[in-house]
Structures are given as structure tokens and as C-alpha cells.
Amino acid sequence: LIAFFQPKLLAGRRVLITAGPTSEKIDPVRVITNRSSGKMGYAIARAAREAGAEVILVSGPTALAAPYGVRRIDVESAVDMHAAVMAEAGRSDVFISVAAVADWRVANASDSKLKKRADGRPPSLEFEPNPDILAEVAALPSGPWCVGFAAETENLEEHAQAKRVRKGVPLLVGNLAQRAMNADDTELVLFDETGHHAMPPADKIIAARRLVEQIARRLPVRPS
Ligand code: CTP
Ligand code: CA
């Protein structure tokens, strides 16, 4: 009840979030994908909504239900996710890119099911790069304030800070992949132009609320 009367940190803001993996077609019955449960992105969508934002969640395939009050746009491939995000980015104040986007799609995907060959030889797949959704949104002339994510397996500090600069985003959230993958809790480290700030380990929804608070605090004041 007390929370009801407190000013909401993201009231009047439009927050666009990507979550989950993308799924890249090999043929009508086979895909190649990234490992992501979607839990962190969905928790952030919920926390942003609780903070008063209008939330649009562009989601790859997950087993999760859309958080209350959040508009979900379902996509499968990185190309679909890119199109959905670019359609919404211009009207959004914040973009939080949590999705584990496949870096490559299958260039020689087949419209009919690949059959096993008599000689037993497996098919060979060719790949082409997917668009970098976050880097593209970050480069928009008057685009939203961007937050990236990076799950690394080693040298988190070095990789995450370099990635933040390369993507051109003010805030990048790092975690160790082996720690967070499909878990209900996580340990996040924030990377910004001043350095890195470790957050305490917490349940993903608690970590999401703290992150939303950090984002709200850093957001530029809206031009009136
Ligand atoms: N990202 C994206 N589009 C892509 C690849 C990544 O929007 N095609 C976003 C992710 O959602 C994340 C951030 O970029 O917020 C970092 O993703 P990551 O995979 O860690 O970075 P990459 O630049 O792809 O580098 P690498 O996979 O080589 O570590
Ligand atoms: Ca990647």
C-alpha cells in the first residue's frame, strides 16, 4: 500500500526490452538457437512495469508468461526481433537488450525437411551474420537510452567494458554465464563510463528491481 503512494521511478516512460533466445531455422523442423531461459529479461519487464513504465517486451521463444500489464511481441529469429525492435525504438525512452541474439543465421536454410542421405554424410550448414540490434538502436540519432547485457564465461571485466564501448551504450550489465544460465538468482555487475559496480547476489526479480532503479537514476531528464 505504501508503494502505491510513492512516486513511480519510470512513470510516463516507455521501455522497450528484448528477452529470451532467438531461433534460427535450418529447415521446417530444425533450428539453431542460443541458451536463454528469458527469466532475467522477463523479470526486468516486470520490474519496469512495477516502476510505472509502459513496457514492450520483444521475446524470442520461452516457456514464460508475459508479466502483468506488459505488451509482449513474440518473435523467433534475430531478423524478426530486429524488425520488431526497429518499429518500436523511435517511440521508446529506454531500450534494454537482454535477449541472447544468435550472432549468425543459416544461410542455406531449406524450405523442405532435410533427409538423411544413403551414404550417411551429414549436411553442411553455412552461416551469415545477423544484424546487431543493440548497436543499431544505440546509433539512432535520437534513439532511446540503451542498456546492454553480456554473459561472459571469463575475463568479465575486460570483455564487458570493451563491449560497452564497442556497442556505444552508456550502461552494460555483465554476469558470468555459468552462474546465471537458467538459474532463479544472479549476480550482476554494472559497467559505465566511471568503471564497474558489483551488485549483491539476489533473486532475479530483486536484481531486476535494483537494476531498474539504477537505470531510472541515470536516465537523462526528459526535454519539456
Ligand atoms: N545483441 C544484439 N544483437 C546481436 C547480438 C547481440 O542486440 N546480434 C545485444 C545483446 O542483447 C546484448 C549485447 O548485444 O545486450 C551483447 O551481446 P553479446 O552476445 O554479449 O555481444 P556480441 O557483440 O555479440 O559479442 P560476442 O558474442 O562475440 O561476445
Ligand atoms: Ca553474441
Residue 147: strand, helix, or coil: strand
User: Residues 152-174: what's their mean pLDDT?
Assistant: 94
Candidates 84, 130, 122, 83; CA nearest to 106 is 130
Q: How confident is the model at residue 67 (pLDDT cuts 50, 70, 90)?
A: very high
Cα 92 to Cα 145: distance, rounded to the nearest angstrom: 9
Catalytic residue among 34, 155, 175, 182: 34
Q: Are 151 and 166 in contact (CB under 8 A)?
A: no
Per-chain mean pLDDT for the chain: 94
Q: Is the pLDDT of residue 204 over 80?
A: yes
Ligand 2 centroid distance, CA of 12 (Å): 32
Cα 136 to Cα 82: distance, rounded to the nearest angstrom: 9
User: Which residue of 44, 58, 104, 163 sits with most ligand 1 atoms within 8 Å of its CB, as the best mutation to test the pocket?
Assistant: 163
pLDDT at 224: 56
pLDDT at 126: 98
Q: How many other C-beta atoms are found inside a 10 Å radius of the C-beta of residue 196? A: 15
Q: pLDDT tens-digit profile of 79-133?
A: 999 999 999 999 999 999 999 999 999 999 999 999 999 999 999 999 999 999 9
| ipTM attached to this prediction | 0.99
Question: Annotated catalytic, 130?
Answer: no
Q: pLDDT tens-digit profile of 165-194?
A: 999 999 999 988 777 677 888 999 999 999
User: Residues 16-45: what's their mean pLDDT?
Assistant: 97
pLDDT at 194: 96
Q: Which residues approach ligand 1 with their CB closer than 6 A?
A: 18, 78, 97, 99, 101, 103, 130, 132-134, 148-150, 163
Whole-number Cα distances in Å, 78 to 98, 128, 193: 13, 12, 29
Q: Atom 4, ligand 1: which residue's CA is nearest?
A: 132
Q: Atom 27, ligand 1: which residue's CA is nearest?
A: 103
